[in-house]
């Protein structure tokens, strides 16, 4: 660091073949506080990645339910929102209706969905 807070980074490369001298390859001057900014960015990106991983895990949890079709449907409906103009609860109500519907209504719903 310089007296006024700027940070200087030097990158060297080893010369080949012998003798192995280090040659200055890059010189970079960073703004004051650059290290803190970069550390904060790394923390931000790690936290964001973890949140995305948790969302994916939650969104895919329904795939682990293999023995109960109704539970699978409701778990899927709680974490999906295929219609942007409806609240998630509307989709859950649709899934609950679908569970109670007779086969003819289910077929009509499948045709409409696809």
- State pLDDT tens for residues 23-77: 889 999 999 988 889 999 999 999 999 999 998 888 788 888 888 888 888 888 8
pTM listed for this prediction = 0.49
Q: Judge whether residue 13 has pLDDT over 90.
A: no
**H or E element at residue 58:** helix 34-59
Domain boundary, last residue among 59, 78, 95: 59
Enclosing domain of residue 7: 1-59
Largest Cα span, the chain? 83
How many domains does the chain fold into? 2
pLDDT > 70 in the chain, percent = 93
Residues 51 and 78 grouped into a single domain: no
Rounded Cα–Cα distance for residues 6 and 3 (Å): 8
Angle between helices 88-100 and 69-79 (to 10 degrees): 160
Q: What is the pLDDT of residue 88?
A: 67
Return the structure tokens found at 80: 């999906």
Rounded Cα–Cα distance for residues 32 and 7 (Å): 6
Arithmetic mean of pLDDT over the chain: 85
Residues 79 and 54 grouped into a single domain: no
Residues 21 and 50 grouped into a single domain: yes
Q: What is the pLDDT of residue 26?
A: 92
Residues 5 and 53 grouped into a single domain: yes
């Amino acid at each position: 660091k310089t007296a006024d807070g700027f940070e200087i980074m030097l990158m060297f490369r080893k010369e080949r073949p012998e003798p192995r001298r280090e040659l200055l390859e890059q010189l970079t001057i960073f703004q004051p506080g650059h290290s803190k900014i970069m550390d904060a960015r790394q923390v931000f990106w790690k936290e964001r990645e973890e949140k995305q991983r948790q969302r994916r895990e939650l969104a895919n949890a329904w795939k682990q339910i293999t023995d109960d079709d109704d539970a699978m449907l409701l778990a899927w409906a709680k974490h999906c929102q295929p219609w942007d103009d409806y609240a998630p609860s509307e989709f859950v109500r649709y899934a609950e209706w679908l569970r109670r519907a007779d086969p003819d209504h289910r077929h009509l719903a499948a045709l409409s969905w696809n």
